Amino acid sequence: MMKYITAASAGFVLLAVSSGSAWADAAAGKGAFDAKGCGECHYTDGPAKEKTIEDQLAKKGPELWYAGSKFQKDWLSAWLIDPKPIRPLKFNSLTEDNPADHPKLAGDEAASVTDFLMSLTSDAVEAGKVKPKKNPKGRQIFTKKMPCSGCHQYVGRKKKLTGGRSGPSLVEAGVRLNPDWILAYMLKPEVFKPVKMMPVFTGLLSDKDMLNVSRYVANFKPKK
Ligand code: HEC
Ligand code: HEC
């Protein structure tokens, strides 16, 4: 219990200000998270624990200690009720398809688990930096200058699903991911993913181009 209060305390203060019952909801959410066995595959206390490739391969699911900085709340609560594959391939595999068998939560549990996960934030993410925008420069980086599209699916020209399958799908990433987290992850991958499964672009892309490509990815929204 103590561990949980320490890890989440920064997020709680903010939540408690915006809503009187958020503290209770997040605490109930932590209870549901434990009761449902979510912690068997996800850890929720930061900073990152993985140090070697073996640590990474031993993980059964993505780390969630900065979930409140990474995800958009509406996406998260809906996904916990009806989880659709994010990674085309099975977690930590380069050959097997994603089995699409993620545990589901009922609506009320999903709401409180969402409050809990949204309380887990990282101060390495600066708020208000990335405005999602149609960004030709970012598109050029993503599709041509850098190999991003070789590993990530996205909806390209003529609404066609394109891109590689080894990284998480970025289709509708603008609905799922916090734009500011995308930039923080590009700039400081060591904070979030100390064991690299994705190449590091620091030194290859200028800070300005990091911002351009983050804005471009953050603008991946459902096509009308
Ligand atoms: C048997 C292991 C396992 C259990 C138990 C499990 N998860 Fe997961 N979880 C995964 C895997 C694997 C993924 C990646 C799924 C994908 O990419 O489609 C994932 C993805 C997620 C994500 C998205 C994370 C990201 O970075 O993409 C969230 C949020 C999440 N799980 C929450 C939960 C919650 C809440 C519970 C408890 C109800 C739970 N999980 C139970 C294995 C598990
Ligand atoms: C060689 C394959 C590869 C390339 C090239 C690549 N990525 Fe990735 N990317 C990954 C993998 C694998 C992950 C999952 C991160 C991990 O667990 O290490 C990832 C994660 C991400 C995420 C977070 C997605 C999530 O849901 O967690 C974003 C955003 C992203 N990449 C953007 C980019 C951008 C922008 C570029 C180009 C500048 C790029 N990637 C190039 C493989 C790649």
Tokens for 109, please give them: 């549990």
| pLDDT tier at 3, thresholds 50, 70, 90 | very low
For ligand 2, the distance from its centroid to the CA atom of residue 198, given in whole angstroms, is: 5
Count the Cβ atoms, other than its own, within 10 Å of residue 44. Answer: 22
Nearest to 32 by CA among 66, 101, 69, 80: 80
Nearest-angstrom CA–CA distance, 141 and 136: 9
Burial code (b: 16+ CB inside 10 Å, e: under 16) for 127-148 equals: eeebebeebeebbebbbeebeb
Could you tell me the distance, in angstroms and rounded to a whole number, from the CA of residue 168 to the centre of ligand 2? Answer: 7
With a 6 Å cutoff on the Cβ, whether 80 touches ligand 1 is yes
Q: Which of 22-26, 35-39, 220-224 has the highest mean pLDDT?
A: 35-39
Tens digits of residue pLDDT in 166-188:
999 999 999 999 999 999 999 99
pLDDT(163) > 70: yes
Q: What is the pTM of this model?
A: 0.92
